[in-house]
């Protein structure tokens, strides 16, 4: 099983906070998992942006995951791709990228998790935890209890894939979210929308440190 970080940062295009600076800020604070999300961009712009942040990623030994666009992930030789329900089928993505690249998928229900777990993927993002303005076409909000139920049921069904909670998670929510039994969290607005993105990154890293362990993705949810 590939190593999946517990802290995923998802970029968000902002005119006053360039993506390269976002990446540098979070990596400098210890984040080593960057998901490049450029929903409104074309393939060429996504590829150019991916290549432009490589020097920063290399400096911090961070991974680059491309959101939605398997073709860009392949062209940029990124570490992997994260695909949603309306994107390429996981099996097609695996065929294109090969066995060594990371593939993550989005789920909103237990049925989604069980279906996706049948494919050759490496983690599942479950959410949204709460409303978020950084994501369009939002699925029904799950909240803490919804994520808890999905994680618990998935483990009962034998799903051992790391589950990452996503959607509107702020530093004040981290303890409650991690207690659902998830492997980690993915955030965007909590950092790029903060007055001090570096301080927000550090606060998240500090809280997650309390929950990290070699068997974190196999823990039962705390009650």
Residue numbers belonging to the annotated binding site = 35-39, 67-68, 87, 106, 132-135, 168
* Residue 103 near residue 94, CB atoms below 8 Å: yes
Binding residue numbers for Mg(2+):
68, 87
Instruction: Name the token pair of 105.
Output: 């998928």
Residues facing 9 on adjacent strands: 34, 187
Whole-angstrom distance, CA of residue 76 vs CA of residue 58? 14
Cis ω on the peptide bond leading into residue 143 (within 30° of 0)?
Answer: no
Closest to 121 (Cα-Cα) out of 153, 146, 93: 93
- Whole-angstrom Cα distance, residue 29 to residue 204? 10
Query: Taking Cα atoms as reference points, which of 188, 189, 220, 185 lies closest to residue 205?
Result: 185
């Amino acid at each position: 099983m590939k190593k999946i970080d517990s802290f995923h940062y998802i970029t968000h295009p902002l005119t006053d906070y360039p993506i390269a600076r976002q990446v540098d800020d979070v990596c400098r604070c210890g984040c080593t998992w960057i998901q490049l999300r450029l929903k409104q961009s074309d393939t060429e712009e996504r590829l150019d942006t991916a290549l432009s942040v490589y020097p920063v990623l290399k400096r911090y030994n961070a991974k680059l995951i491309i959101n939605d666009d398997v073709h860009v992930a392949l062209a940029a030789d990124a570490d992997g791709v994260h695909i949603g329900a309306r994107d390429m089928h996981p099996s097609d993505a695996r065929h294109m990228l090969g066995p060594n690249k990371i593939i993550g998928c989005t789920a909103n229900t237990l049925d989604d998790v069980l279906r996706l777990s049948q494919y050759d993927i490496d983690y599942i993002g479950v959410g949204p935890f709460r409303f978020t303005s950084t994501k369009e076409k939002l699925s029904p909000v799950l909240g803490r209890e919804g994520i808890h139920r999905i994680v618990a049921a998935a483990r009962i069904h034998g799903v051992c894939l790391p589950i990452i909670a996503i959607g509107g998670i702020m530093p004040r929510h981290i303890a409650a979210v991690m207690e659902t039994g998830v492997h980690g969290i993915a955030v965007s607005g909590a950092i790029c929308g903060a007055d001090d993105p570096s301080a927000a990154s550090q606060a998240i890293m500090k809280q997650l440190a309390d929950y990290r362990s070699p068997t974190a993705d196999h823990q039962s949810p705390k009650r």
